[in-house]
Structure 1
Amino acid sequence: MTGPGGLPPQSALMSQRAVFTEAYAVIPGACMTDIVTSALPGWRDMRMWILARPMTGFAETFSHYLVEVAAGGGSSQPEVDGAAQGILYVVSGEVALTLDGAEHVLEAGGYAYLAPGADWHLAAQSDARLHWIRKRWTPAVGVAPPTSFVTQEALGTTVAMPDTDGRWATTRFVDPADMAHDCHVNIVTFEPGGTIPFEETHVMEHGLFVLEGKAVYRLNRDWVEVEAGDFMWLRAFCPQACYAGGPSRFRYLLYKDVNRHACLTLGG
């Protein structure tokens, strides 16, 4: 299976753009080599890069896996945590997702929300790559858990940010006012020259995987250049801004936690 994989030659310089700070981390695509992959019990012909996981004092709510599955591979029991919800987003190839007894074929741009306790399994119809984001669902008084659904990027609701003339837009897959959802995984798109014109500082933590293009991102005190294949991990309240400086549009898959009280127990 092709992918990031491999290793740089022994003649290559060690310097890269990877950085891990008290407020953010950047994992460049070039760092996703064969020797940093992980595997999971119960899966066949699969490898993955664990890009985010809960850690005390840093990101605390989610995990983000970039998964490669060879044709014929997959799992009949991929999720082992009954409280975990999941989001799948297919980057390439084709997978068959069986969800609560119904089969769905997902190709590039395919998107699935997997409710906590959902019965699902996955089989790759061809070599495939997908994102798998997991978060334990947080109960709320009078709120029932969300319902699973399958869709595709083209059917999402794309909303331009105010006063941007469409240069900055977000494709959403759930209604932001739906209190059942305690996290959102959206796709953010900037046209060339589009910006986040101020330093956003907010309680949501973020995982951002760059799908297309390149940009310069303001993270805490630093300006960091990022491109397709890179991952950014932002702690809550990390100041952030962006300038899409490449010749083509800049797009990323964005995770954020929403719609819940701040936990008053430190670390939990």
Structure 2
Amino acid sequence: MGGAAVLDWMVQDGERLANCRHDHPFAILGPQPTDAGWTVRIWMPEAHSVTLLEGGQETLMRAPNHPWVFEATLDHDPGSSYRVRVERGGITHEQHDPWAFRSEWMGDMDRHLFAQGNHHHIWQRMGAHLTEQDGVAGVMFCLWAPHALSVSILGDLNSWDGRHHPMQQRMGGIWELFIPGLAEGSLYKYEIRTQDGHCYQKADPYGFQHEVRPDNSSVVARLGGFAWTDDSWMQQRDSRNP
């Protein structure tokens, strides 16, 4: 294990991430193969230090290219099992790396049917879904924003700061990101930046639950978790003629 070299292109990518203008964070973040092995890059805005926890070893990560892009080299692919210890603002916590989870949520058939306008169960793909990736529980976010320059997830998890969780653009204008450890009931929105630089905060058009006005955030929820209390009304309805 070791440090990292300064890369001009990585400096530019770091600035794009910091300015919420990156549409392909998987290309640089998470485990990346190199000629010497593997480099793990963690995007952690305003962090004082980040330590990689992998295979029983702890490695203090360096930030040679951008103050918020922390890196360490390994001689093997760590997959998505590693965690990081983050020190920021006097608070220390541990977490999984969102950009280590790369499996596509929307498959080829989903995209094909959606593009045709024939996907009759698109709510099972779009929105915020409590699920597991590689055995780790969290929330998969999926949004269609074909003309966006970049999309980020906002919420209590990142103090509503769009710099922290940039999403990955997939084919067909689909944006995805799995956030490990996020729980049911979490509030969220999408921060969408247009090609001409305008920035909008939007509730999830496929969200399963939302706050009541004047608040307007979406809420991570399970579709099957709502307790209906209309049994009496349903029985009366069935006994009447339409």
TM-score by length of 2: 0.28
Larger Rg: 2
Normalising by the residue count of structure 1, what TM-score does the alignment of the two structures yield? 0.26
